[in-house]
Structure 1
């Protein structure tokens, strides 16, 4: 006899990807999940925060290189140049979809934080391409381990491997850490991730929240731009 279906479980069953890109991201996450995760606990993730922060900051030089007009954001044309120089072979429609998905402010420009998320999505989506992985290592060798850690973390949190993290999965992951007030911490972390408040966190939402957790701050971008333009 089956038990009652919870609200979050019902939402997960009814949810369908809104875009082709979302569907591809879920497929890529599930493909990666089939290989398992090296993460053992939420505490093991927290211990990696400083290393992840350091790795993500390595994106800064890449971002500044392709922010050709030094205005603090990368427009669609600059992103296409970025992909071409990094030898990332995406179709025009795919580049457009990625740009729109990561341009959270809808201001026609990709900020530094949005650029980090975009590159990690590229890493995930091309995870099955050995050719691109070789090119990636040549162009951005310091970023690959960081992005792999982010993907690995999401796979750890996504206990049922459906491509999303539910509130229950987040609570369970942090409960197992044995921390006091773990339930409250888990709920706070989940709310920070669940931007659209639909009770499920996709990989993109997770990435944006994670950059904040490890200390990547949009205000730092503004400070850098002021220094360059001052």
Structure 2
């Protein structure tokens, strides 16, 4: 993984993140998997993905029993059971902690999107699961978007990879006014949540949920 992985090796990488990276890398190696040709192709799916996230909102509201707009660990355990995710009870807290991006001890809606996607990737629900095909396709579409940016198939995205991905679509990387770089700057800050110079799938997903308007209740 080169320079990107060396930065991660200096950190304590959780078991969930290791499995998350392995899942993305495995998809890169799948010969039947087709990466989107451009970010435009990804953007065309935004309305469909947002519609699927409305379904996630309904699930979130169902388990936000106290209407606090957050879900605690006990509520999350009930949610996993209801959705039939094959996650051992002893691992639920690890998933919860991994998705608690701000360390508040509570899961808000965008963090809930992250935990549902990670659970789908790492512990696929049984056939009798409560996730619709539309939602499963939405998660896979976001994985495709991440893979489009993850040029070297390492399971992490660098700022150069993001810049090049946007440039392939916009074709104006070298414009004096800043072009793609002026767009990438604020987007990168939204994605690199822990400011370590690389973006994991969960960080990408957290930003992506905001881009498609998933956090808007209406």
Question: What band does the TM-score fall into relative to the shorter chain?
Answer: 0.7 to 0.9
Structure 1 counterpart of 2:5: 12
Structure 1 counterpart of 2:28: 33
Structure 2 counterpart of 1:227: none
Indicate the SS of the match to 1:148: helix
Structure 1: 5+ residue stretches without partners: 1-7, 225-230
d(CA) in 1 for partners of 2:170 and 2:85? 42
Structure 2 counterpart of 1:4: none
- Cα pair 2:157 2:198 within 8 Å, conserved: yes
Q: Judging changes above 3 Å, is the alpha-carbon distance between structure 1 residues 68 and 123 closer, same or farther for their aligned structure 2 residues?
A: same
- The TM-score, its normalising length taken from structure 2, stands at 0.86
Indicate the SS of the match to 1:207: helix
Q: Trace 1:65-214 onto structure 2 (pairs within 5 A).
A: 65-127=62-124, 132-136=125-129, 138-180=130-172, 181-214=179-212
Does 2:37 correspond to 1:44?
no
Q: How far 1:59 sits from its partner (Å)?
A: 0.8
d(CA) in 1 for partners of 2:58 and 2:167? 38
Structure 2 counterpart of 1:5: none
Indicate the SS of the match to 1:56: helix
Indicate the SS of the match to 1:58: helix
Q: Compute the RMSD of aligned alpha carbons.
A: 2.1
Structure ID, larger Rg: 1
Structure 2: 5+ residue stretches without partners: 173-178
d(CA) in 2 for partners of 1:194 and 1:186? 12
- Counting matched residue pairs gives 208
- Cα pair 1:124 1:151 within 8 Å, conserved: no
Indicate the SS of the match to 1:176: helix
Indicate the SS of the match to 1:15: helix
Q: Judging changes above 3 Å, is the alpha-carbon distance between structure 1 residues 32 and 126 closer, same or farther for their aligned structure 2 residues?
A: farther
d(CA) in 1 for partners of 2:77 and 2:143? 24
